[in-house]
Structure 1
């Protein structure tokens, strides 16, 4: 039986009895020229993406504004070890371990399904704050939106195949086609068990220490509908910060500086 203090678990029997197997993790970083003691940001990409999605723009920009910046590739993604049978629990383990390895209490920033991973990690890691970017928080509504906008790429995932996202889902028309195609070509796939768990997931436990949480996205996102952004923000007692005209991959889209500057401005006041 798990012991509890208030609503926060301090002992999880399953994790003690059946620990997650370790896996080699890719962790990339960009550090400011002058150390000012600001909290590090750990960026967590969504399914199919790796640390490269943040290394393209946001890591260097974050470091340029004085914040240490790190991005982790979940197992089976990017340069991390292959893991075709990875579970959502294993992804959460990757994030908490990466965060614990940083020199100071970190801010967790999750994108897409990586936001769901962050939401679960907050119950295990005492984050300084958290940011959920275009959060895919699971449930059958997520599947419905995906089927409407991309049936050919979504149906195989229902039967254990890869989920294939399209240029139209991920980016605005403002991003040049050659660049968009290059990004789409780099996408990998999540473990099939993790894909199923995304649909039939359990709600995250309460965050340790009740850190401030910012939710942001685009009302024109073809992966996450506006109503889902509102629901996610309400869970944390706020309203979503919106960037009209952008696609799902805000960190790679044409106007990528706007969301990251908003995040860093918010952190300066949080």
Structure 2
């Protein structure tokens, strides 16, 4: 049997011959676990980028509460700022993120199935959330209240609630964030961590029962399909259905109130 204790290697720094068991060079003192150091440095760099991403997202999410502004202009401006920051982060790591914009093995049947499931799930969630709000706080929350005074309020609501989040939240959380996490953790851990961050960024405890499972499902689909586009479509249909559900209820409520006057 070969005596592994006496095997030698060359120091990657000074090229002196040292034992393979040595972690440091006897001549120059340079550490010999260069690969481990490189890996640790890579992970540390990703952690720093993740920390910056998290701070930026928190600041953007708490801005409405700090400024206490809920106008159409403010909401759309915040949407644009979030979109721009997402594109900056995603573009900064373009080399490792660009494959997510491809759509390998596209399946129309699969897409239609996802659309149907997303629509049905959204209706169920909206119904349950409405009743939970009534039970817990004796009131309902309406996205449309912010946009109702504008002649194109319904379209602006769909833009702000369905289109912008579907595209840019998927780019941010299932795109940039999850990819950075995969560089540090395994895929399942990346899914759960990114999903939890996605949930807490919405600052809505009542949404826990559906928002976290929703994010986890999108995470698994992104990993399995190697693209964010299924997630973008699912997210869009889910939010669009929520908008239409609310608009129908809102119109019916207005009609009822007008009939009582």
TM-score (normalised: structure 1): 0.29
Structure with the bigger percentage of strand: 1
TM-score (normalised: structure 2): 0.30
